[in-house]
Amino acid sequence: MALLTIVDETATGSVLARLELEITQETLTVRELITRRVQQEVAAYNARQTGTFRGLVQPTDSERLLNGESYRLRHLKLIDAEEQVYRALQAFQQNGFFLLFNDRQVESLDEVIWLGAGASASFLKLTPLVGG
């Protein structure tokens, strides 16, 4: 079993968050990596339901907080993991964020990545420009 450290970063290199994901296989697709990451975030939120969700993509019926890395749900409720996974996969395909695996940008959800010793994943979140 491998422990993969995932880092969320801004385009300027500022670290927004770190999380660790336990992986029991040597390889998986980018789709599987994103799915497991989002499922872990949703499970952690649903277990505590604080009203503030820190995750890869913004849940429905929430607002982005000033720090830009977390979201406040308008009503305390469970987040639907399947919907969040769909939103995250869609965001990846529409360049809502980039994924660097071992410092190399991956471009396809079906790309297979190898989780050897020292593997790292960085999600670069893009910030919308103010004023359009």
Measuring CA to CA, how many Å separate 54 from each of 8, 28, 106? 11, 24, 23
**33-54 pLDDT, tens per residue?**
999 999 999 998 889 877 777 7
**Does the pLDDT of residue 115 top 80, yes or no?**
yes
Residue 131 lies in a domain: no
Q: Is residue 132 in a domain?
A: no
> Is 86 within the bounds of a domain?
yes
pLDDT greater than 90 at residue 15: no
102 inside domain: yes
- In total, how many domains does the chain have? 1
Q: Per the domain annotation, does 130 fall within a domain?
A: no
Whole-number pLDDT of residue 100: 95
Instruction: Report how far residue 97's alpha carbon sits from residue 65's, in angstroms, rounded to the nearest whole number.
Output: 18
Nearest-10 crossing angle of helices 30-48, 81-93: 140
- Average pLDDT over the chain reads 84
CA nearest neighbour of 91 among 62, 122, 132, 125: 125
Q: Is residue 45 part of a domain?
A: yes
The span from the CA of 74 to the CA of 27, in Å, is 38
In which element (H, E) is residue 2 found?
A: strand 2-9
Q: What are phi and psi of 43, to 5 degrees?
A: -60, -40
Q: What pTM did the predictor assign?
A: 0.85
* 57 confidence band (pLDDT: 50, 70, 90): confident
Enclosing domain of residue 90: 2-67+74-125
User: Between 13 and 82, whose confidence is greater?
Assistant: 82
